[in-house]
Amino acid sequence: MRVLIADDDATSRLVLKSMVSKLDHKCLVAEDGTQAWEMLSAEKFDVLLTDWLMPGIDGPELCRRVRADLSDHFTYIVLITGLADREQVLEGMTAGADDYLVKPVDPFAVQTRLVAAERVTSLHHQMVNFREQLERANIDLLERSLTDGLTGLGNRRRMEEDLARAHSRSVRARRSYGVALFDIDEFKPYNDHYGHLAGDEVLRQVAACFTREMRAGESVYRFGGEEFLLLLDDCDTNSAIAAAERISNAVSNLAIPHEARKAEPPRVTISGGVACWAQGSTSSVPEMLKLADEALFRAKAAGRNRVEASGLLERLQPTSDMSGV
């Protein structure tokens, strides 16, 4: 263990250091409470053996500071007093000490205190490790709860949380954002022809394509089934369409065969519907998704493998004579 001895008496420091060192512990010394506090603030010690009466910062005050300001690391504190006064001992324990010694210090008493200190500090280290493992496990569980298990994309829950934040931020900052809703063209015939395992693999490949093609300010989620949603920060309709077409073209360029589709091309493609929230719009997130879904329906009705946009939200912007309302 790392042990710090704080005592303003040179002889006491020397005697204590000799006792501690003989027990194979690494021992450092401080000449008073102020120096001890500086050392404790800069380094981590397992045990502090501190005299009660010292110039500057005395033993009880040193205990209080350690407990109040160094709570990220546990230090076992033993107060050393010249009087076996019960009230004084209780005062020291209340200040934060774990045990006490009475001068003149007996080597056996020091050894027993250090045995207890080693046991207690070991338990504290185990507790810290357990807490860190638990925190990592909780973070992992949270991440899993927000991630689609098949594609690795954000799931519907994460999408809803991010959409709500994007909408609130846009309203507050008076800026725009967009959503693009995609659907894999004729996915059911693909599943029927190639099997559901192949269908799952297509979903993974399309999701990976989205991830590769994403740019700064863009986030993608699995909306459900064979549908995906792209969230675009600070964009207008033209830039949202360009982003949606970029991803649509990338999926088409994967050239995944789809012999079961009725129309050309005989490969996996996606259709997209875009909606943009413009400054001054009163539309909610669900209304945004509804508009994007309607645009997606038009894209599929027009032959699939294309992107359509809703212009309704832009028409909801206030006119100049209403800008101050």
DSSP codes, 178-241: EEEEEEETTHHHHHHHH-HHHHHHHHHHHHHHHHHH--TTEEEEEEETTEEEEEEES--HHHHH
Q: How far apart are CA 314 and CA 281, in angstroms?
A: 8
Token readout for 85 is 């006064």
135 is catalytic: no
CA distance 37 to 66: 8
Report the residue count for the chain. Answer: 325
In angstroms, rounded to a whole number, what is the distance separating the alpha carbons of residues 201 and 171? 39
The Cα-based distances of 30 to 1, 21, 104, 203 in angstroms read: 17, 15, 19, 65
Catalytic residue among 226, 227, 259, 264: 226
Q: What angle do CA 171, 172, 175 make, to 5 degrees?
A: 60
C-alpha neighbours within 13 Å on the C-beta side of residue 15:
12
CA dist., res. 45 & res. 319, Å (int): 68
Q: Which residues are catalytic?
A: 226
